[in-house]
Amino acid sequence: MKTKFVQLLLAVVFALPVTTMAQAGGTNPPLPAAPSASNTANAAATDTTPTGTTRVGTINMEQAIFASNEGQRDFEALSKKLEPKQTELKNQNDEVESLKKQLSTSGDKLSEEARNNLVKQIEQKQKSLERSVQDARDDAQNQQNEIAQRILQKMGPVIVKYAADKGLGVIVDTTNPWPQGPVLWYAPSVDITRAIVEAYNVQSGVPAPAKPATLPAKPGAGAGATTKPAAPAATKPPATTPAPK
């Protein structure tokens, strides 16, 4: 699975989509083995359409993981856990910006030595900030990877069972739209994302959260930029297209 990543000074701590999480931490967990020969034989009549072509289903794995009750609960908990780091990074950024403003407004009034010292101080704090941002991003990514891998491992059997029950021969991930992804077009009727989320919620037993998990808005600047980070935005819900009958 690919990714549609974002990057930002503060929001970058929370900015890693699930599809990358599922890969960055290592290889994706294998899905369960296909149904046994006897089950396959019983389902043979429904595995293909009357013309003999294999039935195909599509699923947006990113939406499925984030939209599940367990995903919303755990990513929201992680977001709260990382809030102190976000505050720490914001304070560091504010300090750098304050020094830059001081240099801009008073630099011509300072002695050459004082101005050079201020420039050096800004450079040192800027480098320290960039290291802190990178460390925070790596830590957040690792923790998000763990959540996504865990959910993906448990969601795999649900997907396989659903495919067997519905006589699907192929399931394609549509997380990334064409041309980043392989799927040029698909009919809404073949999308099984919502059905998988609902089935997984039943199996997990995790109740629906009081409010959706939060994800960062797409930022407009990188580390060290003067643009202030955007507030987190609500996670998009899974596709509402009907599952195949």
Q: Tens of pLDDT along 224-241?
A: 333 333 333 333 333 333
- Confidence (pLDDT) at 101: 93
Instruction: Describe the crossing of helices 193-204 and 112-166 by its angle, rounded to 10 degrees.
Output: 90
Residue ranges of the chain with per-residue pLDDT less than 70 = 1-52, 211-245
pTM, two decimal places: 0.65
Pair type for strands 214-216 and 232-234: antiparallel
- Confidence (pLDDT) at 167: 94
Instruction: Using DSSP, state whether 218 is helix, strand or coil.
Output: coil
- Confidence (pLDDT) at 53: 77
- Confidence (pLDDT) at 231: 32
- Confidence (pLDDT) at 109: 85
Residue at token pair 């890693």: 16
Q: What is the mean pLDDT of the chain?
A: 74
Q: H/E element holding 131? A: helix 112-166
* Omega before residue 35 within 30° of 0, cis: no
Instruction: Using DSSP, state whether 170 is helix, strand or coil.
Output: strand
- Confidence (pLDDT) at 210: 83
Residue at token pair 């994800």: 215
- Confidence (pLDDT) at 12: 33
- Confidence (pLDDT) at 72: 96
Length of the chain: 245
- Confidence (pLDDT) at 166: 94
